[in-house]
Amino acid sequence: FELLCKQLLVREGTGKPGVFAHLFLILSWNLMCRLNNTASLRAHHFMLVEDCFAVMFSQTKTDRKGDSTDGAKHCFSNPRQPHVDLFLSLAIYLSVFQDGHVAGSTAEDNDDSSDYRSVPLFPGKESQQKRFTDILSKLMNSDAIKGVLEGMGVTIDDIGGHSIRKGSSSHAASGSTDAP
């Protein structure tokens, strides 16, 4: 995850694809969610609660009607590792995409352009999930990533969009607050 975040910043730099993919990756990782849930995020899903963002999904695979009101996911800043800091990545994304539209989308592409809270965080005509996986695939085929994966005995075919959710939940489950 950290390597991908760093490479998105280094390889893609401040270009729009890199900024988009960096935030998309960090949100997907922190929320431990499916890519389609990340792609569907809107401003009204975010609440600032003390020192974190609480993100509440309207619908999930297990709650298609959106009846559940519990289960907000809390995401904190990580200033000691700026390449994985959600707050910094979101700030960069919002400064690059100030108008709230990307890749040829227009106000007509949004459900209700008069209310900024209903505008998708990742608007556009094409699938934002596909847009992200295309950038991820391009990154995975870079020499820098291939070498690291080969050193770990992993092939590019072993990694996909689902790996982010699986990796983040495995990472969280393996954590401990108990000192060595």
| CA–CA distance, 60 with 49 (Å, rounded to integer) | 22
Q: What is the mean pLDDT of residues 29-58?
A: 85
Would you say residue 69 has pLDDT above 70? no
User: pLDDT at position 90, please?
Assistant: 92
User: pLDDT at position 175, please?
Assistant: 72
Higher pLDDT, 85 or 58: 85
Q: What is the mean pLDDT of residues 61-69?
A: 56
3-state secondary structure (DSSP) of residue 52: strand
| CA–CA distance, 83 with 103 (Å, rounded to integer) | 24
Q: Is 86 buried (19+), middle (13-18) or exposed (0-12) by CB count in 10 A?
A: buried
3-state secondary structure (DSSP) of residue 32: coil
User: pLDDT at position 19, please?
Assistant: 92
Strands (E), the chain: 46-49, 52-55, 73-76
Rounded to two decimals, the pTM is 0.78
User: pLDDT at position 25, please?
Assistant: 92
| CA–CA distance, 152 with 57 (Å, rounded to integer) | 35
**pLDDT tens digits for range 118-169:** 788 888 878 998 999 888 888 888 887 888 888 888 777 777 666 777 777 7
Tell me which residue of 41, 51, 106 sits closest to 74, measured CA to CA. Answer: 51
User: pLDDT at position 27, please?
Assistant: 93
User: pLDDT at position 24, please?
Assistant: 92
Q: What is the mean pLDDT of residues 52-73?
A: 68
- Of the segments 22-36, 64-78, 138-152, which one has the largest average pLDDT value? 22-36
Q: Does the CA dihedral 115-118-120-126 come out positive or negative? A: negative
Higher pLDDT, 73 or 157: 73
CB 118 within 8 A of CB 112: yes
Would you say residue 46 has pLDDT above 50? yes
User: pLDDT at position 62, please?
Assistant: 57
The rounded mean pLDDT for the chain is: 78
